[in-house]
Structure 1
Amino acid sequence: ADVIVVGGGPGGIGAALAAARNGADTVLIERYGHLGGMGTGGLVTIIPNLTDIDGNVQIAGITQEWLDGLETREALDYPKREHWGSADKETVKYYAERSFFYTRLGRVIYSAHIDAEISKYLLNKMVEEAGVKTYLHSWGTEPIMDGDRVTGVIFESKSGRQAVLGKVVIDSTGDGDLLPYTEAEFETHIPNGFRIANLAMCFWIDNVNLEKLDEFKTKYPEQFAAQAQELMKIGGLPGYIPSRLKDQDSVVWVHTRYPNSSQTDVEELTRVEFLGREKMMVTHDYRKKNTPGFENSFIVLSSPQLGTRASRRVIGDYYLTEKDLETNEPFEDTIAIFPDVDRGESSIRYPLTYIPYRALIPRKVENLLVA
């Protein structure tokens, strides 16, 4: 192959599609039986901040192509285009009640609720139509090395141990899984308390009477708040987000965080899987017994893969610093952008973070990129 991509999440899909569409013989290796990573298997089914608060589109390209495909199948919900950037109080109130992610700083923004199952299908079609050779149920375990050059990837599956050779390998595992087998420099330390130090196990509850739930929340806000406090005391999860997708008007999503969790420690991953499902049951049992609207509800889905935010971080030819976040000028070799939303006033002045291509190139290793 010309290009081997390990990991079929959003980064890996973007890399594989871009490579194949530009004529490269491309192989994509994914450990699960579906593509999409956190956006499907992790049930991170909200794509936020696609515009800034003024309504200017920040993220497009392959992301928008995917969202357009979801819209054709009515598998997408988002604020109407004419409302992006609106500060009209009634409009903002409407969207704020519809989803926390549809407004920011008193303005309507373009964020999307997506259907994870339809996404799996669409992403399959996108890589298939681009001519990407895809291996699902295949775990990219180790790079093939020739000195300091990566020349291929070993992967494991039900078919046994296999290998594919390539001119360029892209580690899009999200965890830098190939890095420890090379001389590449990388970091793993994440200070406790940072949001990226969290793991997540999300789940969906169906057959919720949202009208009854909203009525209870509106008429008895103190009782609703007291229930949230009680849930936290007994180890439950008080937060939820209505799906808002078509024909899912009885579904709520519960997104969780488990702080200070190592994302490369198998014992820690196992602990969070057990803990996550324990908290899921505590939450649903309490809601079903005490919260109007949940009486006939049931758990319909829990995420088949844990939500991860950060683990191994490659030290590339360019090392991104906090100073790089405080600019509105892209790098000459910018290869990725994403919205900056977590740094208060600074995020308003500098709404986009730019990632240079050099930051993806590990030091001391040839023919390897890390997304």
Structure 2
Amino acid sequence: MRQTLRTEVLVVGGGTGGVAAALTAARRGAQTVLVSETPWLGGMLTSAGVAAPDGNELMAWQTGLWGEFLRAIAQRQPGGLDHAWVSFFTFEPKVAADLFAEWVKTTPKLTWIVGEVPQAVLRQGDRVLGVEFTTLTIHAQITIDATELGDLLVLGEIPHRWGWEWQAETQEPSAPP
């Protein structure tokens, strides 16, 4: 029998953006469900191994969730964070993935579901009502597509732009010709 859940906020995708969205929604008081295909959270900062983010220009930006992340990772990372010429922030991807998992597991109002793959987007007109996954359905007031490539947008046949469209389509000078 298919399980059905209801929540205020549904975040689909366990990359850095999905984790940040889920943590922020739950910390602000919304009942939140984060669904990820794998138990390894953090996307580009962890599973893709980009553990020297954005170079030295981010030294001044240590506020909010990013600042909290840097302070927590500095305490866990053997030898601190400054081990590269390209960034003041370098860390082992597993250390960051473990931190994200700990935060998600211990945040009140946040439920983390691992191993589910989106199968369909539930819509009524232009309103997204939730997502059908492999073994469960989740109805939500707000659904956030935090998948790497906008999987929910495609599944739901929701008009969107990637930002990678050709110059002929967008007339944007910086778009690829």
What range is the shorter-chain TM-score in? Answer: 0.7 to 0.9
1:77 match: 81
Cα distance per residue 1:134-157 (max 9 Å; x no partner):
01122233311112210111122x
Partner Cα separation in structure 2 for residue 125 and residue 37 of structure 1: 16
2:114 match: 136
Preserved CA contact (<8 Å) 2:52 2:89 = yes
Partner Cα separation in structure 2 for residue 65 and residue 127 of structure 1: 14
Residue 149 in structure 1 maps to residue 127 in structure 2: yes
Name the amino acid aligned to 1:41: S
TM-score by length of 1: 0.40
Share of identical aligned residues, percent? 28
Name the amino acid aligned to 1:38: M
> How many residue pairs get matched?
161
**Among candidates 156, 160, 166, match of residue 185 of structure 1:** 160
Where does the alignment leave 5 or more consecutive residues of structure 1 unmatched?
Answer: 79-97, 103-110, 192-318, 324-371
2:4 match: none
Preserved CA contact (<8 Å) 2:77 2:92 = no
Cα distance per residue 1:291-331 (max 9 Å; x no partner):
xxxxxxxxxxxxxxxxxxxxxxxxxxxx9x789xxxxxxxx
Partner Cα separation in structure 1 for residue 52 and residue 43 of structure 2: 13
> Cα RMSD over matched residues?
2.5
Preserved CA contact (<8 Å) 2:62 2:70 = no
TM-score by length of 2: 0.79
Deviation at 1:42, TM superposition (A): 1.2
Q: Which has the larger radius of gyration?
A: 1
4+ residue runs of structure 1 moved beyond 6 angstroms? none
Select the structure with the greater relative contact order (CA < 8 A; seq sep ≥ 6). Answer: 2
Residue 124 in structure 1 maps to residue 101 in structure 2: yes
2:86 match: 101
Partner Cα separation in structure 1 for residue 63 and residue 152 of structure 2: 29
Partner Cα separation in structure 2 for residue 61 and residue 24 of structure 1: 18
**Among candidates 91, 107, 112, match of residue 89 of structure 2:** 112
Partner Cα separation in structure 1 for residue 158 and residue 15 of structure 2: 25
Partner Cα separation in structure 1 for residue 126 and residue 146 of structure 2: 20
